[in-house]
Structure 1
Amino acid sequence: MQSKDHDHLIEQLQHIAAGLGQTLAPFCEVVLHDLRDPHSTVLAIHNNLSGRQPGDPATELGLARIADPAYPQVLANYPNHFPDGRQAKSTSIGIKDDEGNYVAALCMNVDLSLFRSLHSLLGQFGSVDANAAIQESLDPAGADAIRARIDQFAARLATTPRALKADERRNLLRELKSAGLLDLRRAMEITAQHLGVSRATVYNYAK
């Protein structure tokens, strides 16, 4: 491949890197390396999280690709870290010319510190005391029975509760009433929610 063809390939990769950078901002650093010069491979860097600058030299991975065309072309989700110690998840994609030699690499480095903080926060917020003496349900008594009966009715018709037709819903309400399930507290509201219709519609079917 001629030098001008390499230049065209690199130019197109710059657009890809810019688009990925905008899409994945601000948590993912996107770096485009021009591997034709190991002393100055960093061509563009978007969402700079590592402190590197255009013109910086190749990393160990970049040098490995330059030295060995058989080096893996895609390395995905490998552990990494930024210079300040923050943990990262990286993906590196090597770009070859038509002769099979590496000419560029597109790398993405995700800052995991924020996500791990959020994971810890959500875990703490969602935790409950499984040994607590008090056991309570905010669901009205009998709600599960109503939903189960509706599911069974829909299953007999090889459909789902929300896909029931108007005449089928009327038959369902007759069945619920015959079973005494409409006498339960908030029965109409529970039925309406499970069918995906308004309470007024359910009251109309129940007439």
Structure 2
Amino acid sequence: MTAAPDREAERDAILAALVPVVDGIAVTFGPVCEAVLHDYRRPEESVVAVAGSVTGRTVGGAMSEIGMRVLARGDEAADELNYLTRTGNGTLVKSSTIVLRDSAGTVFGALCVNIDVTAVGQAHGILGALAGLGTAPDALPTTTFGNDIDSVVEAIVDAHQLRQHRGWAQLDRAERVRLFRDLDARGVFAVRRAVEQVAARLGISRATAYTYLSHARTATDPNPAGGTS
């Protein structure tokens, strides 16, 4: 019986074959384009190749919020094409994330293309104002692109808290479980040490964080033994 192929070697070969594609995409679309190749087997340093500079990514950098979301979906993840977002400094970016699978269908990485369309958006706003069509586009989500995985995790937690307009102490138990469920769905806890980091960011103990994460994943009564912290 033929032995199963070496999946790790296969994944390495796919990534190696895509490195020149990254360079080719960036050269084709010019200075407004950035192409990034990710290896999700290493979330904290997933960037294995990058060409262009739109989000400031560098080789050895961490995955973004988008990558965490793909990682959380596992093999159910699908390509995300032509979506708009903003970077932390306000750059308007049109992006596509194409998931990479091995021959078994397992998602292990992604090829991402980011195009700076800030100038296009400004021109659209000016033309729209002249035509009387309004000047303010719909609000776009801000995405954290960081080479440090800790900064990405912190940005996700902080954004969630801003949406709540309340700190941990002001949330009831159901809201706390919902917070952990939302963070889990966004792939935060797929990263090493994320539970400890989230706990520190929320000002709670690591044990409390693990308890709420357990409740979030099992949909049990969100009343951790020992109360809150």
Q: So what's the TM-score if we normalise by structure 1? A: 0.54
Instruction: Please state if 1:86 is matched with 2:91.
Output: yes
SS of the residue 1:79 aligns to: strand
Whether the aligned pair in 2 keeps the contact of 1:29 and 1:49 (CA below 8 Å) is yes
SS of the residue 1:103 aligns to: strand
Alignment partner for residue 111 of structure 1, among 113, 116, 120? 116
Q: How does 1:6-45 map to 2 (within 5 A)?
A: 6-45=11-50
Instruction: Please state if 1:63 is matched with 2:68.
Output: yes
The CA deviation at 1:74 is: 1.1
SS of the residue 1:76 aligns to: strand
Counterpart code for 2:87: F
Match of 1:134 in 2: none
Q: So what's the TM-score if we normalise by structure 2? A: 0.49
Whether the aligned pair in 2 keeps the contact of 1:50 and 1:83 (CA below 8 Å) is no
Match of 1:95 in 2: 100
The CA deviation at 1:52 is: 2.1
Match of 1:164 in 2: none
Match of 2:186 in 1: none
Larger radius of gyration: 1
Flag the 1:126–1:53 CA change in 2: closer, same or farther, 3 A. Answer: same
SS of the residue 1:61 aligns to: helix
- What count of residue pairs does the alignment treat as equivalent? 127
Flag the 1:116–1:6 CA change in 2: closer, same or farther, 3 A. Answer: same
RMSD: 2.3
Residue identity over aligned pairs, in percent, reads 29
The CA deviation at 1:96 is: 0.6
**Which stretches in structure 2 are left out of the alignment for 5+ residues?**
1-5, 133-229
The CA deviation at 1:107 is: 0.7
Counterpart code for 1:36: R
SS of the residue 1:19 aligns to: helix
Higher relative contact order (CA 8 A, sep 6+): 2
Counterpart code for 2:61: D
Write the deviation string for residues 89-144 of structure 1: whole angstroms up to 9, x where unpaired.
111000111122112201111111111234456678999xxxxxxxxxxxxxxxxx
Q: How does 1:89-168 map to 2 (within 5 A)?
A: 89-119=94-124
Whether the aligned pair in 1 keeps the contact of 2:77 and 2:107 (CA below 8 Å) is no
**Which stretches in structure 1 are left out of the alignment for 5+ residues?**
128-207
Measured in 1, the distance between the counterparts of 2:97 and 2:45 equals 18
Counterpart code for 1:15: P
The CA deviation at 1:70 is: 3.5
